[in-house]
Amino acid sequence: MKILIQAPEIIDIQSPFHQQQKNVLINNGKIAEIGDKNYSADRVIKAEGMKLSIGWFDLGTFIGDPGLEHKEDLESATKTAAAGGFTEIAVLPNTAPSVQSKNEISYITQNNSTRLVQVHALASVTRNNKGEELTEMIDLHEAGAIGFTDGLKTIWHTDIFLKALQYLQKFDGVLIDHPEDYWLNLFGHMHEGINSTRLGLKGMPRIAEEIMVGKNLELLAYAGGKLHFSRISSGKSLDMIKAAKKKLNVSCDITAYQALLDDSVLFDFDTNYKVSPPLREKSDIEALLKGLKDGTIDVICSGHTPHDAESKDLEFDLAEFGMINLQTFGSNLVALSQAVAWDVLLEKVTQAPRRLLNLEIPKIGVDEKANLTLFDPARTWKLDERTNFSKSKNSPWFGKEVTGKAVAVFNNSKQWIDSDIK
C-alpha cells in the first residue's frame, strides 16, 4: 500500500530536508520518495501545518505487565503509545516479578517482529527492585535488556550503585537512576513548600532529590561509567548535572508535565496530579525550561504511570503516585513549544533516547525504513472513553480539551492512522 503524506514540515536535524515542506511517499514500509511532486498513492494524508519526524521514543514507560496487568498490559500499552505518536517504548522493570531474568525480557520483547510499536526491556539493577542484591546484568544484557534501572525506585544502596556502574562498563551499558532519598520523602505526598503547609500535607523537599544527585555524581567520578538520571525536578539538580557534564558521562531526563505544572494545581486535591517526583514551584519550571534550551536536559519522557481506580479514587494521602500521559504527551509538547523550539523538543524524544541506549537512529531519507511520527500541533481533541486506549484513566486531562495530537505513526512495515483523518 502506498501512502502519501502531503506537505508536512519535516523535523529531523540529520536530514537534508530538515524544516522543509515536502511530500513523503511510503511504500511497503519504506520511504519511497521525498520531494515536491504529487506522487500517486492509494491513500493521501493532507498534512499541511503538521510536523513529520522520526518515530518518537519514550524512555521509561511503566505498564505493570507482567503481574499488574489490571493497570496496563503490553497490548493496551502499545495501542496507547501508537495513538500518542510513539513507535518505540522502553518499559520499566517495576512489575511482578520484576524484569530480572531472561524469561521476563523474552516475555516483553517476543512479539516485536509483528508489532507496530517496538517494546524494549529495561532490566532491574537489583532483585525485586529492593536495592539489596545485584541481578545478573551481563546475562540480562545478552538476553536483550537495553538499559538497567530500578525504575520508579531509587538505587539507595551505595555499594550496589558503585558495583552496578563498574559491571555495566563491560558492555558500555547505562545505569538509569531515579534520584530520591527515601527517608526524607517518607510519608510525603507533594512538594514541600508554602502550598503543602496550606493544604496540611507532608511535603517532599527538593533536597531529597538533590542529595542523591550529588552523591551519585561523586560515585560516577570515582568509578567511571555511564549514568542517566530520570525524572529530574529541581533546578539545583540540573546545576549539578550541568557542571558534571564537563567531565563525566552523565545525562538526564524530565517528564514533560514537570515543566508545565506547579504545585498550585493541588488545591482541589485531584489525585491525578499526585506524581513522583512531585510537582514543584514556578521557579523550578523556569529552571527546567532553561535546561531544555541549553541542553542540560537530554530527554523528555511521558512519565506514563497507569493506576486503576482503586489506587487513585481515594483520599489524597492514600492515593498512588503517577499519571497516564502517553496519549496526551503531544499536547504537552505544544505547551512547551511556547518556550522551546520544536527541533529542540523533538530531538529529545527521537534521537537522544536512542543514542543514550546505543540503539539505531532512524532517518528520513529515500530508501530508509519508515519509522515516522506525523503530529498535528493545532488539532484539538479530548481524551475520553472513546479515545482512550489505556486500561487506566488517571489523567488530569481526562475529559478536557487539549491541543496537539499525533495523527499517524509508521514502523515495522505497519501504520496507525487516526480514525478522524479523512
The pLDDT score that the predictor gives to residue 421 is 81
Q: Same domain for 63 and 160?
A: yes
Is residue 385 domain-resident? Answer: no
pTM: 0.97
pLDDT tens readout for residues 73-103? 999 999 999 999 999 999 999 999 999 999 9
Q: Same domain for 133 and 214?
A: yes
pLDDT tens readout for residues 336-351? 999 999 999 999 999 9
CA distance 416 to 395: 23
Mean pLDDT of 122-136: 97
pLDDT beyond 90 at 112: yes
**What CATH number does residue 48 fall under?**
2.30.40.10
Tell me the pLDDT band of 422, cut-offs 50, 70 and 90. low
Residue 328 belongs to what domain range? 55-356
pLDDT tens readout for residues 140-155? 999 999 999 999 999 9
Q: Same domain for 43 and 107?
A: no
Contacts of 373 (CB under 8 A, 6+ apart): 52, 53, 54, 55, 56, 85, 86, 87, 350, 406, 408, 409
Could you tell me how far CA 338 lies from the centroid of its own chain? Answer: 20
Mean pLDDT of 119-127: 98
Q: Same domain for 149 and 236?
A: yes
Cell of 104: 521476563
Is residue 137 domain-resident? Answer: yes
**What CATH number does residue 219 fall under?**
3.20.20.140
State how many domains the chain has. 2
